[in-house]
């Protein structure tokens, strides 16, 4: 629940702290997108909270002139859950990287999403551990050679969008750090959604994993490699929209040439579909960052968020049984005296 505020500018949302990321880091563009977006959301700085874990992305709260908490590794979703359900008047944002959220924090993330906590979660995915100097992360591709995998990673990487959809997040989207307009449009929708919003942001680490997404996010590649998802429209892409996506009878989705398949055969994107199956299939399009990859909103559905459910449950218990007696509880069955 947000409160309408007096007009603000980007400067009002920018803290007095020196921004300390490596020169050229994609985090700068994400920070700028958020700082420029906040005045347009008509929210109050004193009612806004940014909570982060550990990692390069986790420095984010320092640079926002709001309330914030730089928490411990992976636990940002858990801390944010407690705040969101007890203070529904606050706008709670969760910031973290792929290592922070999908490794030690993976359990906290999926439960925050399945419970539909009213949070806006932004996960910066650079497919590497940057703060600790270049170890492989849960999203690093198989065969990735790093300081911790000198012979190449043998792990199957996580697909963050697939994980969020599998956890039944009610809003799931993807954007990238090379397109400020797309980031802001995606972040706005994630913020306005009531419930758990998850946004994966492709973010470049120019020191330890430079160009990880260049084959799809580079300006010369976007038209051919980014599959824009627009609700209610056939899924098409390419410089002349010559490519499209169809769904086969077994539920599998694949890329076709529109001239051969026909426009009527194309899959019409429905982000409001209750069953996340089609969205999940779309999240599996392209098994590497060198192939056409969907971007935009995969899912946007409504479900009662956790805080409202908890409040209703407490009120119902009080109305049916009256206020509890702590002393009587202490003296109830299940207690004993030790001599």
- 262-289 residue pLDDT tens: 999 999 999 999 999 999 999 999 778 8
Asked whether the CA dihedral 125, 188, 86, 63 is positive or negative, the reply is: positive
Reported confidence tier of residue 293, pLDDT bands at 50, 70, 90: very high
Answer yes or no: is pLDDT of 299 > 50: yes
Answer yes or no: is pLDDT of 66 > 90: yes
Reported confidence tier of residue 325, pLDDT bands at 50, 70, 90: confident
Q: State the fold for domain 10-215.
A: Rossmann fold (3.40.50)
Across residues 50-54, what is the average pLDDT?
97
Answer yes or no: is pLDDT of 227 > 90: yes
Mean pLDDT score across all residues of the chain: 94
Across residues 167-194, what is the average pLDDT?
98
**pLDDT at 95 (0 to 100):** 98
Q: In Å, what is the CA distance from 52 to each residue of 55, 180, 286?
A: 9, 22, 30
**pLDDT at 335 (0 to 100):** 67
**pLDDT at 146 (0 to 100):** 95
Answer yes or no: is pLDDT of 2 > 50: no
Calpha distance 302→194 (Å, rounded): 8
User: What predicted TM-score, i.e. pTM, was given to this entire model?
Assistant: 0.93
Do β-strands 253-257 and 120-125 pair in parallel, antiparallel, or remain unpaired? Answer: unpaired
Number of Cβ within 10 Å of residue 150's Cβ equals 7
**pLDDT at 1 (0 to 100):** 45
Alpha helices for the chain (secondary structure H): 10-13, 27-37, 76-86, 98-99, 106-114, 160-166, 180-192, 214-217, 222-225, 258-261, 277-283, 306-321, 326-330
Do β-strands 226-229 and 120-125 pair in parallel, antiparallel, or remain unpaired? Answer: unpaired
**pLDDT at 282 (0 to 100):** 97
In the structure encoding, which two tokens stand for residue 73, read together?
């590794």
Calpha distance 182→217 (Å, rounded): 12
Answer yes or no: is pLDDT of 60 > 50: yes
Higher pLDDT, 267 or 327: 267
The contacts of residue 315 (CB under 8 Å, 6+ apart) are none
Higher pLDDT, 336 or 106: 106
Residue % of the chain over a pLDDT of 90: 88
């Amino acid at each position: 629940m947000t409160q309408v505020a007096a007009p603000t500018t980007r400067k009002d949302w920018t803290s007095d702290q020196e921004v300390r990321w490596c020169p050229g880091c994609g985090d700068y563009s994400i920070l700028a997108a958020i700082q420029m977006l906040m005045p347009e959301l008509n929210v109050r700085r004193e009612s806004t909270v940014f909570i982060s874990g550990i990692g390069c992305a986790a420095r984010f709260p320092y640079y926002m002139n709001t309330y914030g908490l730089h928490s411990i590794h992976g636990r940002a979703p858990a801390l944010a859950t407690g705040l969101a359900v007890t203070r529904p008047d606050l706008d709670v944002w969760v910031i973290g990287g792929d290592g922070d959220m999908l490794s030690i924090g993976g359990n906290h993330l999926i439960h925050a999403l399945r419970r539909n906590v009213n949070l806006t979660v932004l996960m910066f995915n650079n497919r590497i551990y940057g703060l600790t100097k270049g170890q492989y992360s849960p999203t690093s591709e198989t065969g990735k050679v790093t300081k911790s995998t000198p012979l190449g990673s043998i792990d199957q990487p996580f697909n963050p969008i697939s994980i969020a959809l599998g956890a039944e997040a009610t809003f799931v989207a993807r954007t990238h750090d090379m397109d400020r307009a797309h980031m802001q449009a995606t972040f706005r929708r994630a913020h306005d959604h009531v419930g758990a919003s998850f946004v994966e942001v492709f973010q470049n680490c120019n020191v330890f994993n430079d160009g990880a997404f260049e084959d799809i996010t580079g300006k010369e590649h976007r038209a051919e490699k980014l599959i824009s998802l627009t609700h209610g429209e056939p899924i098409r892409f390419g410089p002349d929209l010559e490519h499209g996506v169809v769904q086969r009878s077994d539920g599998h989705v694949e890329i076709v040439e529109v001239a051969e398949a026909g426009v009527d055969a194309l899959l019409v994107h429905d982000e409001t579909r209750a069953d996340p199956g089609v969205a999940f299939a779309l999240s599996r399009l392209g098994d590497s960052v060198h192939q056409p990859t969907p971007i935009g909103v995969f899912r946007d559905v409504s479900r009662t968020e956790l805080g409202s459910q908890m409040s209703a449950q407490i009120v119902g218990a009080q109305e049916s049984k009256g206020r509890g007696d702590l002393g009587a509880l202490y003296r109830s069955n299940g207690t004993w005296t030790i001599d």
